[in-house]
Structure formats: structure tokens, C-alpha cells
Amino acid sequence: MSTHVPVLLDRVLELFAPVLDTPDAVLVDTTLGLGGHADALLSAHPGLTLVGLDRDPDALARCRDRLSVHGDRVHLVHAVYDQLPDALSRLGIDRVTGVLMDLGVSSMQLDVASRGFAYAHDAPLDMRMDQTAPLTAAEVLNTYPPGDLVRILRDYGEERFARRIVERVVRERSKEPFTSSGRLVELLYEAVPAASRRTGGHPAKRTFQALRIEVNGELDALRAALPAALSALRVGGRIVVEAYQSLEDRLVKQAFAALAKSRTPEGVPMELPGHGPQLRLLTRGAEQADEQEKEHNPRAASVRLRAAERILEVHA
């Protein structure tokens, strides 16, 4: 397995540094992965309590080992990030000082060929982040109606040739069900025009992304997780989100923007009490990794980081 390098680690540490040195500081890492960000944050802030969520039992097992040096400051929970309120409730935590969301597929999941996330390796068409979940990429590919497959490839993969790809998938699956990523990659090479392959990257990239998002319900989970995470922040608390594709980043941008503007009706000459902005944006747009980090850590190439601070309490 390749060495895990957390993306934009220095920037994440910098953004959280002003708020995590209080004795009661609690940070939720909603996508623990291999624990690189979590380990660095715990080391930098000796009084910090960390709640680590991950849907992947293998990731939790590895992190339990890696983070054991931090003792009882660490609480690990097997959960998808939209289950954050339940996880905090079970731990008796009402509000938190920080939330970190490092979205997308983890380094471990990409590096283990048998998980089926990487189109560079022939492997079972699995793509489950949580291998206790029932739905696999093979089931999606073999059983979904053509119209649903076209929608998934267009909406989740932004694939221009979705209909052309699906026509071939339907024809081939009628002969023999798809079981391996290698067979799917071969089909995609045939279905995607050569001109597009030259300029649009690997022909499997968009289809694999779309299948992964469908299998794991990623966008639906993120739509629910963002308001839950923002509601859990205490005043002065901060949220940092790293997204790796435009669909995720758009949801983050919209969620932050909605709470960063005043709710006082237009035309009212002064801010109404309790109607001011609830968030202060800490980044100008989405920040990217610099060229040096991209060179040393290819997974940083597509990252878009956004951060915000809670400045007004939310009352239900």
C-alpha cells in the first residue's frame, strides 16, 4: 500500500488552530479514512477530544490502532457522516468546536485493488465504502433499467456519452452479467470516442465516479450531512470541507452561502435581531493545492477546500 499523505494538511491545521486549544474543544472528523488529519490535529492540540466517523469498518480498525496513542481523547463510530447527530447524541455531546469533512473515496479504498474503486486494476465490481452494505456496482450495472443508468452517468459522472455507454452495457449484460472492472473498462474504451479520450482523461473516470456515488449514496448523504454538521457547531466553531469533484463542491458552496448571508428582508434599514449571517466564510472561493503538493501527492490535484466559522447561534 502506498504511503498515505493527508491532502492540504498544513492548511487544515492552520484553519483549526485558533479554536481548538480550549479545554473543552471537540472536533468531529466525519470521514476518518486512514486518520492522517485526525492524528495531526490530536498531536497539535493535547486537550482536544476527537470523534471519528467512517462507514468503512476496515478504516476504523486501522485508525483504532493508529490513534491509540491519544488514549481516551478519541471516540470512533461506525457511521456515515449524515448520521452525525445520532453519533454525537450517543456520546452525550451537544455542540462541537470543529468539523472536518474530507470527501470522496479514501486512499486505502483506492489502494486496495480488490475493493474495485480503481479502474487501473481488474477487480470485482464492488465499490462499497462499507462492505456490510448490500448494493454493489455490479448490481447497479446488471439490474438497473437503462433510463436509470443513463441518469446516473449523466448526473453523477457528468458523462456526455451516457446513452451510448448504456446501450452497450445493456447489450453486453444480456449475454453475460458484468462482474469485473476490467470488462467494463474495455467497454468504455470502445464506447467513448477517441477524440474525447485524447482530451477528456481516462474514458472510465466519469463512469466509475458515477457508479461509486450511486452505490454509496454519497450526494444524498452529503445533502443531509452539511446542515447537520453546521447545526452542531457552537458559536466560534469552524468547519473545513475538502471536496474532489464539482458535484460535491457545489453542494458545499451552496450550503455555506445560504448561511453566510443576512435573512433580514430587503428594504429593512437595519439588521433584525437573530437575522444576521450565521457563518463567516474563511476562504475566498475554493482553495486548491499548490503545484508542489500536487507533484508530491497526486490525490491533491482535484481538491477544493472551503471553510467557515459559526458566528450566530441557530435557534430551532
- Residues tagged in the binding site annotation for S-adenosyl-L-methionine: 35-37, 54, 81, 102, 109
Asked if 129 contacts 55 with a C-beta cutoff of 8 angstroms, the reply is yes
- Return the C-alpha cell found at 260: 453566510
CA distances from 41 to 96, 174, 291, 292 (A): 15, 51, 24, 22
Secondary structure E strands in the chain: 26-29, 49-54, 74-78, 96-102, 233-243, 279-281, 304-310
Q: What angle is formed at CA 178 by the lines to CA 134 and CA 103, rounded to 5 degrees? A: 50
Distance CA 56, CA 20 (A): 27
Annotated binding site: 35-37, 54, 81, 102, 109
Give the strand pairing for 233-243 and 279-281.
unpaired
CA distances from 32 to 104, 161, 279 (A): 11, 34, 24
